[in-house]
Each structure stands twice: as C-alpha cells, then as structure tokens.
Structure 1
C-alpha cells in the first residue's frame, strides 16, 4: 500500500530542495525523492572549492577534490537539517514511476511506494555523453567528471563556448591552466547575454584563447609529451594535456519510466511541457533544467 503525500518532488539538486521546502511552507505534506544517481554536479560548489584552494596556495587536483567533497558534505548536511526541521520526508534509492501519481523507491531490498495527486520533476540535467570523434582517452572529460583527472593539466581544450564552457574556462584559467575554447560559431557574442557577457569578458581577461568558426573533428592520444592532438575542421591541430566537451545537456530522466506512463521526452531526455510546466501527464509538472522545448498546447494533456 502506498504512503500518501500532497506533493512529491523528484530530484537531488538545489532546485529540488528549494521546491520541497517552499511546498512544505505552504502547509503541504511533501516527500523529496532523490534518485540514487540523481545528485547533480554543482558548479557553485566547484567555484567555492576553487576559491578555497587558490587562497590556500596549494593548487592540485587532490586538494580540489578534497575541497569539493568537504563543501558538498557541508551543503548536504545543511539541506537535510532544513528539510528535517520543515518536516519534509526524504527518500533515496532507485526511482520508478508506476503510474501518474505513484512512485516506487528501492534502497537495497526495501521498496517503498508513495503517491501524491501532484508530482514535480526537478531532476535537472547531466552533461551529454562524449561523442565518438573524441576517442576513448581518459584525458577527454566532460564538465561533470573533469575532477577525476589524476593531475591538474597544464593545458586544456574546451569544446563549446556556451555558459558551461565559459564557466569552466574561467575556473581552469584561475587554477593556472592554459585554456583554448573551440566553437563552431563565428561570434561568441551570439551565444551570450547578461551574465554570459560578463563571463566572456572575464575569460578574455584571464588569457583564454578562442578558436571560433571551427569544429573538433577528432582527438588522438599521443605516446609522448602532451597527451592529446585535437584536430579541427580548419586543418589546424591543437596540442593539449586534456580536452573537455561542453556541448549539450541531457535530462536526468533515464530509468524513471516516464515515457511508459505517458510523459513525452525530447531527444535529450527532457520533458515536453506547456508554458506552465505541465507535462503530457497533467499530474506531473517539470521545473528547472529538465524542462525540454515547449510542446504545442494541443499536444499537452
């Protein structure tokens, strides 16, 4: 038999926690369901960690990983304390929708069934998988797993001059890494606006190099010297210790069984919604980055 709530929020990031707390403040009985693989990479935490290691004067990947773990643990403990004080029930495990109002959460051999008349998807997005053209070198990373590099690279090629690419170009440059950003657009300002304009100017002031109107067509490992040769469509080659792909995001919806209950997902796994965030299933609302391209109103409901 399912345990009933007024609202269920699905997700493990800041948006999900904020949604759960806001609903509880309205006097609703709320469950926050955190998928086992649903805790998103948080660039805010990484920025704080970069500031910390720079102030310490001990800049290394090991120091950065330690700082990220400490800040993340502190943030998680603070969130759980706030959720507990507010009376939000928190469940973590493998999550599946069984129908429009019911979810199962499995942690080990324990399976819990919970239901609510309204369920909010706030599970966010993850970096898109690395394309085939980038090979299988361990020094080719995404914006979410670059902390797994054994050592801080002396040089890095970042593919994509969007928000994620610029943000990581700034972080790495501040850590002393020589960064080159490659993007197919001829004018990065076409991608920018507001905060991104400021990021672009900061990246330029830090000495980030830009290769525009160009695309990466292949990445090859080297046996000596710098680890990678990055081949561009212009015929140029960039030599670097590592490369990071910052092109594309995918919804953290894999395994949730959403399509089986009627929720439409786009090619990137994000939920089709109307202007108010309602998915094709009226009881399920999506918020934040997991919202895909808006569907035509006639397709919703």
Structure 2
C-alpha cells in the first residue's frame, strides 16, 4: 500500500527544502525525495553555489587580491597555489550545511525518502534504491530536481583536460592556460577566478554582449577588470570543434577559422533539466528542448496538482530566488496568503562582484521613463580606499519627477551585500531623499548611497537652474513676486542639501 502525503517534494536543493519546510509549518504531512544521502542540498551545495563561492573566497585570500592596491605584488603567491588548497575548506562548509539541513527536516518532522523518484501517475511516485522500492501518493507534488551541465556528444569530455563546471572542482592541478566556452554566469565566474590565479584565460561566446540582463555600463566595467587580468574575449564566435592532442593540449576551432590552443577547456554552454528518470509523461508533463518544465505565475504546471520550482523551470536560476519560489508555490498550492517580494536582487560572484535590483538603463530607455542617474565611485568612499577597492561603482536610477528609486546597480567588493539597502528602500517606496537625508556609519561602503544620491540630485538641480523660467500667473504683481520667491527658496534648499 502506498504511503500518503499532503505534499511530496522531489529534490532537496534550495527550492525543494524551503518548500517542504513551508508546508510543514502549515501542519501538512510532507515527504522529501533525494537520490542519495550524500547529495542532500542538491547542486547548490555540492557542485554549484556553495563550492564555487568557497573556492572564490580561497582564491581572493591566497592571491592577496583584496590587498593588491595597498601592498602590491609582495603578497601574491599565485604560482604556488594548488587545487588541494582551494578545496581545503570546501568539505567542512558542505558538511556543516548538510548538518543544518538535516536538523531543519527533523525539527519540522519531514520524512526523508532516499532513492530515485519516478512518476506512475499524476498523484503517485515510485521511489527506488538498491534493494528497496516504495510507492508514495500525494495530493500535491512539487518538482525541484534542478539542472546539470549540458554535455553535447561531440565534446570529448575526460574530466581532466576537457571538463564541465561540475568536474572542474575535482581538477588535480591548476592549468597554465584555459579556454572557457560559454560566457553565462557560471562560465564568466569561473573564468575570472582562474584568471585571478594567473591562468591565461580565453572566453568564447556566440553572443555579441555578455550578461545582457545586467546594466551595460556595469558589464563593461567587469570586462575591463577581466582584461586587466589578461583575459581574452572572443565574442560573436561559435565553436565548431574541440579536440584533445597529447596529455595537456586542447585545440578549439571556431566557425571563423580561428584555432585556439590551451592546456585545458571548460565547456559551460548552458544547463539542462535533471529530469531524465522522472518519467514525466506519466504525469502528463512535457519538457522544452533543455529538459525544463513550464509553469504559470504561481508555479503550477500543466498538470494542476504538480508544481515546478528552482532551476528546472529556467531563469533566473539563482539559489535566492529558488528558495522564494518554493515558498510561494506551496502557498499557492494550499491556498495560503503570500505577499510576494516586489524587487528580487541578482548577485553574480565574479571578481569583482556584481549585484542589481530593479530596472536597467536600457529597460527604462525602452519604456520611455524619464529617469536620472546618481553615481558613486568607490574611490570616493573612505572605506573603499581603506580596503583597496578603488574601481567599484554604485549606480542609482530614479524617476526625474517623483524621485522614486527605479534600479540599483553595483560592481565591486561587497556589491552583493550593499545592494540590499537599495532593495529595502525600493520595496518600501522610498525616494532619493532618503539616501540624501539619512546618516550612515562612517567609514562604510553603505556611504556610497549618500554620495550617489547627492550626485543624482545635483543633476536635477543643475537642470532646473539652467532651464528657462516661464511664469504664468493670473494674480497681481505681489502674487507673481511670491511665486518667484518660492521658486528661489526651492533652488536654494536643493543646492544646500547637495553640498
């Protein structure tokens, strides 16, 4: 006889675990399916977010990157760094996160089912592992099985010379040169990490622009940083062939006829849904050409009792948004009220970091929104100078009339942290006046908001002062003089506030 649950969650990544916990808080009977005990936490914990960010932190520490502007090359030991050193902290971080996850599941009385999940019908799933098979039924089923790297058959992967982003973490040694095929978020993050280690990195991508969902100026600054590390970009170029010659040589041939050589190659041209074994047709579900599920705005699939969340449903494929999707899907499934976040942040852990919330300049221009820009360079911020980050930038986009914050964009160390100040002000309906009038600790990177606010409001002031004054009044001379005096006081007030 099948075990019965209110909710069955397939996948223990960020979306699945948060969905299961949210349902348990509603006093529902919940089960969570994961393939193997050692993979609790999903791709995020084992081959994605946590490992790559742990490695990034090790690279910044061991290369002395953060102190480059203060102490120079004396603190750089790039040629002596090994992959074992980069992995040293990884196992302890992963184990700690797994322990925390198990504690959450136990505390919320969520049943953990180990094995491969396979749909028998829209309400029944078979969970099997060696020597054991069981059937589980559930009123609602949530699919959060994540993705895996795309591995085209014509790429001769060997895990050492030619590898994907999962295999990169297990490299035996750091190559002297590397070709990265695919400049999406994962590809560009790893490319810049290895360039920081002194590896000669060439990036190939068929698109003319990188990270087109980000602010264009921010991306240009990132590419400037990357080129300063010696990186070479081959944009608008498609790869046609990749071959391995000898033990440590890879040849990549481009459609344009170029031939590139390197010791190693990372193929990072997209990810596909990890859905092969789920037998989704039995549940009435179809996949797109990348193995991803379609969902509506409430994360409901074409089968009414089945929901999809996380990377398996596509963009933005971030751990932070996946967690929110899991909670929202459960609330929608069980008719619970939910106040959705209005402004979701994006964080890219490149070197330096990039983070954003709200609209870009390109979007506002296309929508014909009258906006102005306030900018603060980190070299203007005392804390930025102290920490050696003098090339970072904070941009505030705001409405010229209402002064409402429309977008916040940042590049530099701590960008993924300080973005949340702008996110909070946007979500609460704040304006540029908040940043102008509030007091920030000194010295802090948060002070960049005040500098950017003064910069943006100064532009409004100068535009108003340079515009011809046209007075239209039906009153007498005294009333006209009063209106002129009022305008003068407004200009003086803004000029004083902007000092």
Shift in Å at residue 110 of structure 1?
1.9
Q: Which residue is 1:21 aligned to?
A: 21
Q: Which residue is 2:401 aligned to?
A: none
Shift in Å at residue 248 of structure 1?
2.1
- Do structure 1's residue 221 and structure 2's residue 244 form an aligned pair? yes
Secondary structure of 1:255's aligned partner: helix
Q: Which residue is 2:206 aligned to?
A: 184
Q: Distance in 2 between matches of 1:203 and 1:26?
A: 48
Q: 1:75 to 1:175 in 2, by over 3 A?
A: farther
Q: Which residue is 2:35 aligned to?
A: 35
Q: Distance in 2 between matches of 1:169 and 1:45?
A: 15
1:62-113 alpha-carbon deviations (Å, 9 max, x no partner) = 3334433332222111111111112221112121111111212123212222
- Higher mean Cα deviation, 193-202 or 230-239? 193-202
State whether residues 2 and 134 of structure 2, in contact with CA within 8 Å, keep that contact through their aligned partners in structure 1.
Answer: yes
Shift in Å at residue 194 of structure 1?
5.3
* TM-score (normalizing by structure 2): 0.54
Secondary structure of 1:173's aligned partner: helix
Shift in Å at residue 181 of structure 1?
0.6
Secondary structure of 2:198's aligned partner: coil
Unaligned segments of structure 2, at least 5 residues: 64-79, 316-499
- Do structure 1's residue 122 and structure 2's residue 141 form an aligned pair? no
Q: Normalized per residue, which structure has more helix?
A: 2
Unaligned segments of structure 1, at least 5 residues: 294-301
Q: Distance in 2 between matches of 1:261 and 1:267?
A: 18
- Do structure 1's residue 250 and structure 2's residue 278 form an aligned pair? no
Secondary structure of 1:91's aligned partner: strand
Q: Distance in 2 between matches of 1:153 and 1:16?
A: 36
- Do structure 1's residue 52 and structure 2's residue 58 form an aligned pair? yes
State whether residues 119 and 280 of structure 2, in contact with CA within 8 Å, keep that contact through their aligned partners in structure 1.
Answer: yes
- Do structure 1's residue 193 and structure 2's residue 199 form an aligned pair? no
Q: Distance in 2 between matches of 1:213 and 1:63?
A: 36
Q: Distance in 2 between matches of 1:56 and 1:172?
A: 12
Q: Distance in 2 between matches of 1:209 and 1:44?
A: 27
Q: Normalized per residue, which structure has more strand?
A: 1
Aligned residues: 290
Q: 1:192 to 1:155 in 2, by over 3 A?
A: farther
- Do structure 1's residue 269 and structure 2's residue 314 form an aligned pair? no
- Higher mean Cα deviation, 104-113 or 196-205? 196-205
Q: Distance in 2 between matches of 1:199 and 1:155?
A: 20
**Counterpart pick for 2:156 among 109, 122, 135:** 135
Q: Which residue is 1:238 aligned to?
A: 260
Shift in Å at residue 49 of structure 1?
3.1
